[in-house]
Amino acid sequence: MRTSVIATCILLIFTLSGCQKSSPPLDNKDSSKKITVVTTLFPLYDFARIIGGDKSNVTLLLPPGVEAHSFEPKPADLVTISKADVFVYTNAAMEPWATKLLNGVAPPALRIVDASTGATMLTTEKDSNEEKGHGGHIDEGHDHDHAGGIDPHLWLDFKNAMIMVDNLTAAFIAKDPANESYYKANATTYKAELQKLDADFSAGLATCDKRVFIHGGHYAFGYLAARYGLTYRSAQAVNPDAEPTPSTIAQLLKLVKSNGLKYVYAEELVSPRISEVIAKETGVKILMLHGAHNISKDDLAGGATFIGLMRKNLEQLRLGLTCR
C-alpha cells in the first residue's frame, strides 16, 4: 500500500514537472553551470562531491542521523529528485523503491545511475553455524529482507567503491562533456586514495591473532570480511529492524567464548542493545564499526569523509582482532 502511494506521488510530481516551462538544457560550453546531483546514501554523496568538485551541487537525500534501510522518500524528496540533473542510488537491494518507482516515470532529462553496475554483489549466508566462510548472519530459517538475500553493502569492498566512482564519473561526463578531463582527474586522484586504503587494510589485517569478529547489529560487513579473509557473524539480517531470537544470541555468545574474543562490535545510528547484552554476558568490551550508510548531523557538519570513517574502522578492527 505504501509503495503504491509513493508511486502515485512520483508520477504526479514528475508529470507536473513536465508540464511546467522547462529549463534550458545544460550548456556544456558554459563551464560555470553546475550539475545538480541527488544521492541516496553517504558514500555516494561523498564520491559525487569529490568527483564533481566546484562544478556540481550535490545533495544527500537521506537526512543526517536517519537509519538508511527503512528510508522511503517523501513527496518533497521526489520534487528534489525531479529537479536534478543526475540521481544516484546504491542498488536495487538497498533502495528497492528507486527501481520500482523511478524507472519509466522519471523526467527524460534526469540521468538515473545504479552505482552498483558492474560490481560484484554478494549474498548473505543462512548457514552460519560453521566458520567455513567469511561471513554470515546466524539465521534460523527466516528469509532476508533485501532482494532475495543480496547483500547491498557493496561499498565496503573498496574495489567495488572504485567501480561506483567510475559509474558516477560517467554520469557527470554524460551531462557535462565539456568538463570531462576535470571529472576524470578528480576520479583518478580519489581512486588512488581508495587503492591506498585497500592496501592499508590488507596489510593491517594480515597479522592478527584473531580472524573472527562478532557484530551485535545488522549484517553490514560481509564485503569487508570477504575482502580481507575474516570470518564475520552478525546478530541480525540485512534489515536492522529484524530482531534476533534468543537462540541467535546464544550462538553468538558461544562464538565469543570459543574464539577467545575480547571485543564485540556495535554500529552507527543503530541501538547497541544487542552488543551490550553480549558484552554483559561474556565480559567483553564494545567497539564501534561504521558501515557509512549515513552519518550524524555533527559528523556531516564536521566534514566526515568515507575514507576517514574507513580508516577509523581499520583501527577498531586491529584493536579487536589483536593485530600486530
Q: 62 near 71, Cβ under 8 Å?
A: yes
Q: 39 near 159, Cβ under 8 Å?
A: no
**In the prediction, which pLDDT does 162 show?**
98
> Which grid cell is 179?
568538463
pTM of the model: 0.86
**In the prediction, which pLDDT does 241 show?**
66
**In the prediction, which pLDDT does 129 show?**
35
Sorted by sequence, the CB contacts under 8 Å of residue 153 that are 6+ apart come out as 94, 220, 221, 222, 223, 238, 291, 293
CATH code reported for the domain at 2-19+32-116+153-196: 3.40.50.1980
Q: 249 near 277, Cβ under 8 Å?
A: yes
CA distances from 268 to 1, 32, 95, 289, 313 (A): 30, 38, 19, 7, 11
> Which grid cell is 156?
565496503
Pick the CATH number of 209-320 from 3.40.50.1980, 3.40.190.10, 1.20.1540.10, 3.30.910.20: 3.40.50.1980
Angle 26-30-31 (CA atoms, 0-180°, nearest 5)? 100
Q: Provide the pairing of β-strand 122-123 with 150-151.
A: antiparallel
Residue ranges matching CATH 3.40.50.1980 in the chain: 2-19+32-116+153-196, 209-320
pLDDT by residue for the chain (324 residues), tens only, comes to 444 544 455 544 444 444 443 333 333 334 458 999 999 999 999 999 999 999 999 999 999 999 898 888 888 998 899 899 999 999 999 998 887 767 656 788 999 999 999 999 998 754 333 333 355 554 433 333 444 489 999 999 999 999 999 999 999 999 999 999 999 999 999 999 999 999 999 999 999 999 999 999 999 999 999 999 999 999 998 866 678 989 999 999 999 999 999 999 999 988 999 999 999 999 999 999 999 999 999 999 999 999 999 999 999 999 999 999
Sorted by sequence, the CB contacts under 8 Å of residue 221 that are 6+ apart come out as 135, 153, 156, 213, 215, 232, 234, 289, 291
Secondary structure class of 257 (helix, strand, coil): helix
